[in-house]
Structure 1
Amino acid sequence: MTTATKQSTEDKAGQAGGTGALVTEHGTTTVADTVVQKIAGLAAREVAGVHALGGGAARAFNALRERIPGATASAGQGVSVEVGEKQAAVDLQLLVEYGVSIADLARSVRRNVITAIERMTGLEVVEVNINVTDIHLPEDDSDEQPQPARVQ
């Protein structure tokens, strides 16, 4: 890392990102991990080519939850975050649509997540790590149809 890059990074670390400071002379604003987690999850889902978030077990659990009347899907599924006073780091698990360029999708997801978190919270996002756990195939949708009973 060059001296200029190191200085620039240190300057950013000393600032509260976004347009408003989280620590002012009038008080301190803290943002809970779950808030950042939900923002990241919703921002990632907005990108075309992202089919779902979370690993296989998390998606299966969420599918069961959706069948319970009144229950809602978790906006933070497949997202883990680490939030400090001025910075945040995000880890995402994605299920992508078949045929989508994973590199381009990762760039778009990263940009959308960083923009949403920094705009809404004022935290500086230092990294967004993306783990593609699976690819959604069009024929997988036919598997979700209820199968007729084998025994009557």
Structure 2
Amino acid sequence: MITTSAEKPADTEAKNLPVQANSALVTTHGKTTIADTVVEKIAGLAAREVSGVYALGGGVARAFGAVRERIPGAKTSLAQGVSVEVGERQAAVDLDIVVEYGVEIGELTKAIRRNVITAIERMTALEVTEVNIAVGDVHIEGDDNKDDDSDAARVQ
């Protein structure tokens, strides 16, 4: 049986398309690779922009961050509390957050997802497949620095 071009299955024709299909990162002229740390920083900044997010990172990560901040010239890690998997065309994000007391967590996580997805897709052209958020703690105003205040009063 002879098949004409009109009878060819659509998937056969799709295989003959250039590599650039559906991505600004992979084209016939070359491939752009984006490091995990780039996407982590973008996600971290985008998550911190949302009102109601007190901090990113679990208890241990925040403890290391607090120690790092006390070192002169050291900078806070923008990727703290952020983990990503980056492929050629897609990225998945995991966030560990601390929320402010009184914030409705469901609405907060929707806003975080929206902001993170928008920022990553706009800046990298990667498709974000998922943003998983783990709420590890609630920040209560006046609860931090209790130990710092007592230490400051003892040592002068």
Mapped partners of 1:144, 1:31: distance in 2: 41
Q: CA deviation at 1:27?
A: 1.3
Q: CA deviation at 1:25?
A: 1.8
Q: CA deviation at 1:138?
A: 0.7
Which structure ranks higher in relative contact order (CA pairs < 8 Å, sequence separation ≥ 6)? 1
SS of equivalent to 1:76: coil
Mapped partners of 1:107, 1:41: distance in 2: 15
Moved over 3 A (4+): none
SS of equivalent to 1:146: helix
| CA deviation map 1:57-97 (0-9, x unaligned) | 10011000000010000000000000000000000000000
Q: Give the total of aligned pairs.
A: 134
Q: 1:149 aligns with which of 139, 150, 154?
A: 154
Once the two structures are aligned, what percentage of the paired residues are identical?
Answer: 67
- After TM superposition, the score normalised by the length of structure 1 is 0.84
Task: Name structure 2 gaps, 5 residues minimum.
Answer: 1-20
Aligned equivalent of 2:82: 79
Aligned equivalent of 2:22: 15
Q: 1:58 aligns with which of 49, 61, 66?
A: 61
Q: CA deviation at 1:142?
A: 5.0
SS of equivalent to 1:140: coil
CA RMSD of aligned residues (A): 1.6
Cα distance change, pair 144–24 in 1 and its aligned pair in 2 (3 A): farther
Tell which structure's C-alpha radius of gyration is larger: 2
